[in-house]
Structure 1
Amino acid sequence: MRRRAGHSEDLRTGLSAILTVADVRTYRGTTGGMRSVTSPGYKSRLSEAAGWVARLLAVPNDNPVLTAAQYEAFSKQVPLLYFILATNMISLSWTHQGTAPDRLVVYFPAVLTLLFTLRSVLWLRGRKRQRTPAEAYRQLRATNFLSFPIAVICTAWSIALLPYGDAYQNAHVAFFMAITVIGCIFCLMHLRSAALIVTVTVNLPFLVVMCLSGEPTFIATGVNVILVTMAMIIILLGHYRDFRQLHASRQVLLIQQDALQEQNKAMQALSDENLRLANLDSLTLLANRRSFFQMVETAFRRASEDGQRLAVGVIDLDGFKPVNDMYGHAAGDKVLIEIGTRLATLCNDNLSVYRLGGDEFGLLLQGDAQADVMALGQTVCDRIAERINIGSGMVQVTGSVGFAIYPDVGSTGQEIYELADYALYTAKRTHRAGTVIFNAVQANELNRQKIVEEALVAADLERELSLVYQPITCVGTRRCIGFEALARWQSPRIGRVSPAEFIPVAEHNGRITMMTRLLLSQALAAARQWPDDVYLSFNLSPHDLTSPESTLRIVAIVLKSGFDPRRINFEITETAVMHDFEQASASIQMLRELGCGIALDDFGTGYSSLNHVHKLPLTKIKIDGSFVRDIHTRRTSFKIVKSVLALCAEMELQAIVEGVETEEELRILEGLGVEAVQGFYFGKPMEATATIAVLSPPMLEAAAAS
């Protein structure tokens, strides 16, 4: 209904413009004659009508894309148009052979048929070439221009044949004109202007000739053809309008499809970006932990299928925590960014670098030999050890690297990583700022660790754990002033286990806090048998200081025991302090408020700064035995111990020197002013009952006499 309404509106506009060309007003004059006076809008309406007719008979070019589509559809029908004209002319010429002159039935049709054939060939060849909208418009205009002379020539030729022949032949002429104009209308449906030109050019002369013949049959035929062609013109106009609307809808659909494709591209780009960010460390811009484990599994599958070698490395920074604590997290971030940048320069087709979290990085090396892995580890350590400018100063950290190499070890990607992590643990424990490749020795250690862990999980700790006590002696009086409680474990499954084995395992599986509480209760029970001037020294794990709850449980055990807190000296390591300085400091302060002393154990072997030592409420510092060994021959150890003693004096802290085993070492320390020592020279760790004998008056007198 809308299409018909739109078409009717177009016709009404055009007809209104034509019918109102002369708006005639009549009035009767005094002589009774009729006079006509044109309306004031005569000229404007005449111009409007002329413009409407011109637009109707012209090729539109308001939409270049539509023009190109119109040409593409029209080009497929032009050869058929020339075929209809040629076959109809040949048929009409054939029926007039011998009746009409040769010039009308032989030469003239032959020339036109040849021209029509050439035009058809040109159109068929031109269909293979893509034309621009401007070229399509010029071609349509040329066809529109040629439609009038071709229609005139064909009409004049057919009318020229009417005087010749009988009634049947004249009927054939009428049929030729009718069927030709109908065929042309169908073929020109995509070029509205040419169809209208052909219709008017052929039908008006045809109707006039038919009417002038005086033959009722011809007159009826002429009127019939006019009416049929009018109906066909209406159909053509509707088809042309539908074609334009269909093309417009198609363009809208294409635009929507393009927009949808752009939206899909944007969504895909966003998805790719999200995936990239999900696998990217935002600080260092290296691939992150998630990407690392995905690539480890992928590389392992490829290596196992192709028989290639695969090395997985884990890097941990040594000394990063003090940088974070001393200069702030912003400085720590700068260090991580710089380390990440340095490591990224090592990347190539076989080597990729990842940040696993915190100050830990990962390496994935494919196809290299073990010697190359060691060289890579050394290069990594050298790059990390270079000084870093953090803006407010220069800092330096070092790195330890652990590697595991497939197929030497490991049966899965995850297992190779875990072995590399254990190699890193070994590197940090024995080769600071060095590289360790997982080997058979570590495999035995790891296997032993698993055995210890299984036994520890199943152990009855209250029955199997025990304590031994090592004396702490006053150098001046040679008198025992305290005992350090040392843990021992006798497992019914695997026998006696060294503290160096079971304590790291207990810290790893979380049983260390329970062990601390059990052993502290035993130590306090034994210490109640000692004189009031002998104190208990007890070691705390880093896990005992990580939360207020753990520290409060320790406080509760001390209060419940009834033992004087001032006679308790809790020993902590630098690792415990560096793990979480703020919480460790709060826990230490809580113990100090209880009255307990705090000793920093193994001083000099870790990475804590003097600034942290100054901030903690310490009462003692224990100098590690590694500095005492052969102190009488090693000037470096002598200077270190002397410096630490000076520091303790400056900070008003008591110094206790560990690992004293010989008379020479004791003499040097005594000369340096050491007041308290601990070591095999004065006594090995002993059972609780033996401590009573050590503290008895005869033993004390013997010690004083010596």
Structure 2
Amino acid sequence: MNRPKHALSTLIAALTKSPRGLTAIRQLAELQKQVPSLYGLLSVNACALAATHYALAPAILTLGIPAVVISLCLIRGVHWLRLRPETLSEAQAVHHLRRTTVLTIFFSIVFVVWAMVLTGFGGPYEQGHAAIFVAVTVIACIFCLTHLPVAAFLVTGIVMSVFLFCCVTSGNKVFLAIAANTAFVTVVMVRTLNTNYRAFVDLVASQAVASRLSEENARLAQTDSLTGLPNRRYFFQKLDEAIRSPSEAGAPFALAIFDLDRFKPINDTYGHNVGDRVLAEAGRRLAEFASADVVVTRLGGDEFGVILRASEGAAAALAFCDGICTALQQPTRIGDIRVVTGCSGGLALFCKATRDADALFDRADYALYHSKEQRRGATTLFSQEHKDAIHAEQAVETALRTADLAAEMVLHYQPILDTETGRIAFVEGLARWTSPSLGQVGPDRFIAAAERCGMIHTVTLLLLRKALADGARLPPETGLSFNLSAHDLASPETVLAILAAVQGSGFDPRRLTLELTETALMRDFDHAKAAITALRSLGIKIALDDFGTGYSSLGYVHRLPLDKIKIDRSFMVDINTDRGCSLISTILDLCRNLGLDGIVEGIETQAQLDVARRHGSRYVQGYHIGRPMPLADLLQRMDHDAGAVRRRA
């Protein structure tokens, strides 16, 4: 008993299966625009046919059956009007299409049988009306079911079969002509329906392909090709979304930036291929921290960005970020090479004051800078202290931009003693700035501010010209040392301007020493080496300052044409211990072996001076030797020292 029903449902399921590239939801959405109109048309036509036969046919045919069928049509029409295809799953949409096909078959059978029964009542006009009703029903179904052709074909087949059978068996020539005409029109319309439906299927398929390509292109545009992580564009997109989310709907969040320590030396030592593999491994490790509440990205170079929910507070967010630092600090093995990179992080919590993505990013970046300067290997949380420091830095930058640098900046000179002769062998020029609005500003603050606001080249050249002019007043045997910024060395224009200033000053270039920090060399080693070569070609000497504080100083000493090494003052703290003495002695031995002058900084006591001498240090510098002082005071001291030497002689 169940076999016919099962066979029918299987047939309908097979017939209503969407072609490749066409979704049932899309079919349902298109049908929703037409099916209510179809039910409305059938209802109106049924009312008209019932009215013309009201006085001729039994009430069951003119009132009973129409009332039931029209009610069902109206119910189905309202159902289609209230349908929301976009809220349905694909399976639910398929179910709706199959039910629509079944109901279409039901209504077509009911309407055509009812119309054919009514042809037995009334005269030729009433019979003609019934024929028109059938023809209009066929046309309406074909047009309104274009996007469900199987239903349109079934309706057309059922209605036309019954209609043609009745017309042929009637023997009436007029009905035969009507049947032939209707059949011909139906064939043409069915063919048109099929063509339009194929075009619709192709259009949907091409749109689906275009959509997939667009999504793939969007994904690629937001993905870093090296690590596979989302890229900077995706990071700021998600950051904007998080900031725009209402505070009631979204939990508090934080932004973190991580930077690999000692990554550039890996590139310089092993090449970019190894560096890329280190970055790829860092990306893989970082991806393990990603979740629904954590977005991880590569911002560029060796910098990574993370957006995380901070619903458990700042302490939990900070602990999470420290975990990332720990993971990225683990050794990486690439073939026979084992490399270790550090990782430092900066964390900023979202607040009402930072409803701007750039402002929040700058806070995290400032905290990262603080980590790299003072807490390498850990994450620093942006605090009120950092906020105050930023305001102070901005005040320095503002004052620097409006300053009369030539009048406000001067140089003080700190002596460097030759322990063998007891004379001052060199003096180091140290910048001093007295701002009318800020008062005395430390060189560490205004030099950093000049670097940030792009004024460092102007400041460097101004101070160098002052130092060269002052150097002309020094005794001929006394050398002059001057510090260059990392930005100066990276600028070919500034290097050329330095050469021009030295040549135009009349000061002997062989008496001039330019001091560079390892940071200056790390910015761009190749440019730094070219700049050093150009400076030395004029006779200028080059000193590597703060030796021992970086991570790869020995590599730079070996690869660069240096003349002097200044041993950082931090080594003098442990000078009274065996370890401290060994370090100083080792570095001085290195200088002698390489033919370089070694200068020990940070001599603040007689005991430290005695130890430095004992270990072979010829040149020393520090507060015990002399504090930085104006040129006039320095010249007065040098005259005094020269007089003392003459008296001893």
TM range (shorter): 0.7 to 0.9
Structure 2 residue corresponding to 1:335, chosen from 278, 300, 325: 278
Is the aligned partner of 1:382 residue 2:318? Answer: no
Percent identity between the aligned chains?
38
Equivalent-residue separation in structure 1 for 2:50 and 2:444 (angstroms) = 104
The residue aligned with 1:582 is 526
Matches within 5 A, 1:519-598: 519-598=463-542
Is the aligned partner of 1:267 residue 2:210? Answer: yes
Matches within 5 A, 1:646-661: 646-661=589-604
Contact 1:402 1:422 in 2 (8 A): yes
Contact 2:518 2:553 in 1 (8 A): no
Give the 3-state SS of the residue equivalent to 2:305 in structure 1. strand
Is the aligned partner of 1:292 residue 2:235? Answer: yes
Equivalent-residue separation in structure 2 for 1:81 and 1:445 (angstroms) = 89
Is the aligned partner of 1:393 residue 2:393? Answer: no
Following superposition, the deviation at residue 600 of structure 1 comes to: 0.8
Give the 3-state SS of the residue equivalent to 1:694 in structure 2. helix
Structure 2 residue corresponding to 1:431, chosen from 375, 387, 392: 375
Is the aligned partner of 1:420 residue 2:372? Answer: no
The residue aligned with 1:23 is none
Is the aligned partner of 1:612 residue 2:571? Answer: no
Q: Gaps (5+ residues) in structure 2?
A: 1-14, 17-37, 77-97, 139-158
Is the aligned partner of 1:663 residue 2:601? Answer: no
Equivalent-residue separation in structure 1 for 2:352 and 2:374 (angstroms) = 22
- TM-score for both structures, normalised by structure 1: 0.69
The residue aligned with 1:100 is none
Is the aligned partner of 1:483 residue 2:434? Answer: no
Cα distance, 1:132–1:411 mapped onto 2, change above 3 Å:
closer
The residue aligned with 2:543 is 599
Give the 3-state SS of the residue equivalent to 1:255 in structure 2. helix
Is the aligned partner of 1:316 residue 2:256? Answer: no
Equivalent-residue separation in structure 2 for 1:371 and 1:682 (angstroms) = 47
**1:619 partner letter:** D
Q: Gaps (5+ residues) in structure 1?
A: 1-63, 66-71, 91-113, 155-174, 204-225
Cα distance, 1:183–1:360 mapped onto 2, change above 3 Å:
closer
Following superposition, the deviation at residue 260 of structure 1 comes to: 2.1
Name the Cα RMSD after superposition: 4.1
Cα distance, 1:638–1:301 mapped onto 2, change above 3 Å:
farther
Contact 1:342 1:383 in 2 (8 A): yes
Matches within 5 A, 1:172-187: none
Contact 1:480 1:695 in 2 (8 A): yes
Cα distance, 1:524–1:249 mapped onto 2, change above 3 Å:
same
Contact 1:184 1:195 in 2 (8 A): no
Cα distance, 1:310–1:703 mapped onto 2, change above 3 Å:
farther
Give the 3-state SS of the residue equivalent to 2:312 in structure 1. coil
**1:445 partner letter:** A
Give the 3-state SS of the residue equivalent to 2:574 in structure 1. coil
Give the 3-state SS of the residue equivalent to 1:502 in structure 2. helix
Following superposition, the deviation at residue 691 of structure 1 comes to: 2.7
Is the aligned partner of 1:626 residue 2:570? Answer: yes
Equivalent-residue separation in structure 2 for 1:493 and 1:177 (angstroms) = 111
The residue aligned with 1:403 is 347
Is the aligned partner of 1:675 residue 2:618? Answer: yes
Give the 3-state SS of the residue equivalent to 1:485 in structure 2. strand
Equivalent-residue separation in structure 2 for 1:407 and 1:201 (angstroms) = 85
Contact 2:486 2:521 in 1 (8 A): yes
- TM-score for both structures, normalised by structure 2: 0.75
Contact 1:570 1:599 in 2 (8 A): yes
Cα distance, 1:233–1:625 mapped onto 2, change above 3 Å:
same
Contact 2:423 2:641 in 1 (8 A): no
Is the aligned partner of 1:641 residue 2:584? Answer: yes
Worse overlay, 671-680 or 479-488? 671-680
Contact 1:585 1:616 in 2 (8 A): yes
Following superposition, the deviation at residue 241 of structure 1 comes to: 2.0
**2:535 partner letter:** L
Cα distance, 1:698–1:131 mapped onto 2, change above 3 Å:
closer
Cα distance, 1:689–1:338 mapped onto 2, change above 3 Å:
same
Following superposition, the deviation at residue 704 of structure 1 comes to: 9.8
Contact 1:530 1:695 in 2 (8 A): no
Equivalent-residue separation in structure 2 for 1:580 and 1:536 (angstroms) = 26
The residue aligned with 1:687 is 630
Is the aligned partner of 1:506 residue 2:450? Answer: yes
Following superposition, the deviation at residue 605 of structure 1 comes to: 0.9
Cα distance, 1:371–1:698 mapped onto 2, change above 3 Å:
closer
Worse overlay, 536-545 or 412-421? 412-421
Is the aligned partner of 1:446 residue 2:390? Answer: yes
Contact 1:292 1:354 in 2 (8 A): yes
The residue aligned with 1:371 is 315
Equivalent-residue separation in structure 2 for 1:432 and 1:234 (angstroms) = 96
Is the aligned partner of 1:362 residue 2:342? Answer: no
For each residue in 1:402-437, what CA deviation from the matched residue of structure 2 results, as whole angstroms up to 9, or x when unmatched? 222344974644333322222222221111222222
For each residue in 1:335-367, what CA deviation from the matched residue of structure 2 results, as whole angstroms up to 9, or x when unmatched? 222112212212233332222222222222331
Equivalent-residue separation in structure 1 for 2:233 and 2:643 (angstroms) = 63
**2:300 partner letter:** G
Following superposition, the deviation at residue 538 of structure 1 comes to: 0.7
Cα distance, 1:310–1:705 mapped onto 2, change above 3 Å:
farther
For each residue in 1:513-556, what CA deviation from the matched residue of structure 2 results, as whole angstroms up to 9, or x when unmatched? 10110110011111112232221111011111112211100000
Give the 3-state SS of the residue equivalent to 2:191 in structure 1. helix
Contact 2:460 2:484 in 1 (8 A): yes
Give the 3-state SS of the residue equivalent to 2:573 in structure 1. coil
